[in-house]
Amino acid sequence: MSKEMLNALEALEVEKGISKEIVIDALEAALVSAYKRHYGQAQNVEVDFDHKKGNIHVYAVKEVTEEVMDSQLEVSLKEALQLNGAYELGDKIRFEVTPKDFGRIAAQTAKQVILQRVREAERTIIYNEFSAYENDIMQGIVERQDNRYIYVNLGKIEAVLSRQDQIPNEVYQPHDRIKVYVSKVENTSKGPQVFVSRSHPDLLKRLFEQEIPEVYDGIVEIVSIAREAGDRAKVAVRSRDENVDPVGTCVGPRGQRVQAIVNELKGENMDIVEWSEDPAIFIANALNPAQVVDVFFVENEKSCTVVVPDYQLSLAIGKRGQNARLAAKLTNYKIDIKSESDMEAIRSQMPEEDLVSDELVDDVMTDEYLADDYVVDQYNEELVLDGDNITEAIEEEQEYEEEVDTDLYESADQVAEDITNEDD
């Protein structure tokens, strides 16, 4: 070995980012392996690399003993004293056994081991680099796809985008540039494996941080996100500065800020609502764009009934129950939605002592009077009834009877009649 070897190691360090010391360790291990394979058994072999000159020396380490049982591993005390009078029993002596030539096979073996160590070092570097991006957003280029994954080039590694992490109905073409959320980085036997997502709710959070400086700086905080990827999402925000409007800040002038996020997600609708410490106000905001007249909370449960104007019942529930379902996920409350006329019919049957304030923020009712006419459960996505088609809804309910534990009423009159029968 020579100065040329040192120059090559330094060039490798610059080009691949692999420490010269790592390659030298690999080289020493390779030469030990080659020596053992081609020059007999030698468990006591050591290799030294001269960091200044680039020379390599092979040594056999032998222990000083009174009687030599194995000449490859031991040396007699008498012979040791001839070398140095200070040696004692049990000392280790290194004898240089560097062959004049290792031969082509030995050199090839050393080369293979070095390449393996270099690959391992590269994998470690890539894993450390991309593990720092876990739970963050990156931009990649779509490379190819098969039955399981879409492969996204992130530069030094190809990440995988599974079906469940894709946005429904989004078409991915080779060479498309997309932003992805790094959900998991694993260090496998085949090298680092990076899993990315386009449907993860935190992708929205990272996009907001990129597009909106106030969110990145922490002036506006994203409290919770509810998302049905590719269709619609609700984002609850609050401001840490009383002079900053959180919703207006996120929307931006003429909606430019939020529109950039919508465009990145291929037209996914975005509802930005203001978070409130008062759960009633927060729930009312979460049901936007519907207007909320009243909110009643069921005692000792994370459940409530929301009253909306008759003409806004369908708007509050949303298409296929989506608006109410997202509001339930956003607030972490089970939300039952009733029209004003249905609620008045129920309240007309209640004893005066059970009537409570009509104020939005203080209403509490027991579930004795709250029939689940229009219900959305944030966990089970229970059936939502559309007041315009009760008959069809009841037929659908029969298919969900194991999931939905609720009594159905064809009209507010039926509700009143049932409560009256119970009183009798």
The continuous run of DSSP H or E covering 286 comes out as helix 279-286
**pLDDT (0 to 100) of residue 285:** 94
Sheet-wide strand order for 269-274: 220-228, 232-239, 269-274
> In the CATH scheme, what is the code of domain 278-424?
3.30.300.20
Integer CA distances (angstroms), 317 to 63, 126, 398, in order: 85, 47, 20
Integer CA distances (angstroms), 347 to 26, 255, 334, 351, 365, in order: 81, 42, 21, 8, 10
pLDDT 10s digits, 244-292? 999 999 998 988 999 999 998 888 999 999 999 999 999 999 999 999 9
Name the β-bridge partners of 192: 187
Name the β-bridge partners of 55: none
**pLDDT (0 to 100) of residue 112:** 76
CATH architecture for segment(s) 139-199: Beta Barrel (2.40)
Q: Which long-range contacts (CB under 8 A, 24 or more apart) does 362-369 make?
A: 362/280, 363/280, 363/294, 363/295, 363/296, 363/297, 364/296, 364/297, 364/298, 364/299, 365/296, 365/297, 365/298, 365/305, 366/298, 366/299, 367/298, 367/301, 367/303, 369/419
> In the CATH scheme, what is the code of domain 212-275?
3.30.300.20
Q: How many CB atoms lie within 10 A of CB 247?
A: 20
**Pairing state of beta strands 56-65 and 74-76?**
parallel
Topology (CATH) of 3-130: N Utilization Substance Protein A; Chain:P; domain 4 (3.30.1480)
The domain locations on the chain are: 3-130, 139-199, 212-275, 278-424
**pLDDT (0 to 100) of residue 42:** 58
- State the Rg of the chain over Cα: 36
**pLDDT (0 to 100) of residue 383:** 35
Name the β-bridge partners of 68: none
Question: Could you tell me the pTM of the whole model?
Answer: 0.65
List the structure tokens of 416.
């009143």
- In 3D space, the residue among 183, 187, 182, 190 whose CA is nearest the CA of residue 125 turns out to be 187
List the structure tokens of 267.
């037209």
**pLDDT (0 to 100) of residue 368:** 42
Q: Tens place of pLDDT for every residue, the chain, 424 residues? A: 456 667 777 777 777 677 778 777 877 787 787 777 766 665 678 777 777 776 777 788 888 888 888 777 788 888 888 888 788 888 888 887 777 765 565 567 667 777 777 788 788 888 998 999 999 999 999 999 888 899 999 988 999 999 999 998 888 999 999 999 999 999 888 889 999 999 999 999 999 999 999 999 999 999 999 999 989 999 999 999 999 999 999 998 988 999 999 998 888 999 999 999 999 999 999 999 999 998 988 877 788 989 999 999 999 999 889 999 999 999 999 999 999 888 888 777 765 544 444 444 334 444 444 434 334 433 333 333 333 333 333 333 334 333 333 333 333 344 334 434 444 4
Report d(CA 197, CA 133) in Å as an integer.
13
- In 3D space, the residue among 278, 271, 273, 335 whose CA is nearest the CA of residue 303 turns out to be 335
**pLDDT (0 to 100) of residue 66:** 82
**pLDDT (0 to 100) of residue 95:** 80
Report d(CA 86, CA 210) in Å as an integer.
70
DSSP, res 167: P
Integer CA distances (angstroms), 366 to 351, 353, 363, 413, in order: 13, 12, 10, 20
* Three-class DSSP category at 61: strand
Whether 139-199 and 278-424 share one fold: the answer is: no
